[in-house]
Amino acid sequence: MDTLRIVAEHMGSDAGSELERALYAHNRSVTEHAAWQLVLFCLRDETDALRGGIAGYLWGGWLHITMLWVHESLRGHGFGAQLLASVEAYALEHGCTDAYLSTFDFQAPEFYRARGYQAFAELADCPRGHAYHFLRKRLS
C-alpha cells in the first residue's frame, strides 16, 4: 500500500465535494435509497438581493432542513413560516413523510415547535452556555 498521509484542506475545496459525494454514494448503496435531492427556496427583494432562504435535502422519505435564515429587518412578518411551509409542501409532493432539523437555543427552537416540530434530543452546553436542539415533524 502506498504511504498515506492526513492533509488539512478547506471545506470549499474540491476535496470537500469529493468527500461528500463518496459518503452519499456509500449511504445510497447500503440503504438502497438512491434518490437524493438538494432543495433551496430563496426570499428575494425587488433588486434580487437575498433576504432569506431555506435549504436542505430530500433522501429516504425524509426532509432534512439544514438552514433557515431571514434578514433581521424582515423577521416577525411570517416569511420564515412561509419558507418552511414551502419546503415542507415540496417535500410532501416528492414523497417525504417526515422532516428533521437542528437549531441552537439562540436561533429558533420555539419557532419550529410552534409549527409542529417536536424535540427528540438536546446537546447541552454546545456552544458553552447554550444548547443545540434536534427536532422532527411528521409531514401531512
Summarize pLDDT for 81-135 with one digit per residue, the tens.
999 999 999 999 999 999 999 999 999 999 999 999 999 999 999 999 999 999 9
Read off φ and ψ for residue 94, nearest 5 degrees.
-105, 25
Domain parsing of the chain, residue ranges: 35-138
Contact 69, 53 (CB under 8 A): yes
**Is 3.40.50.720 the CATH classification of the domain at 35-138?**
no
Global pTM value: 0.88
In percent, the amount of the chain with pLDDT more than 70 equals 98
Average pLDDT, the chain: 93
- Taking the CB of residue 99, how many other CB atoms lie within 10 A of it? 24
Is residue 19 pLDDT above 90, yes or no?
no
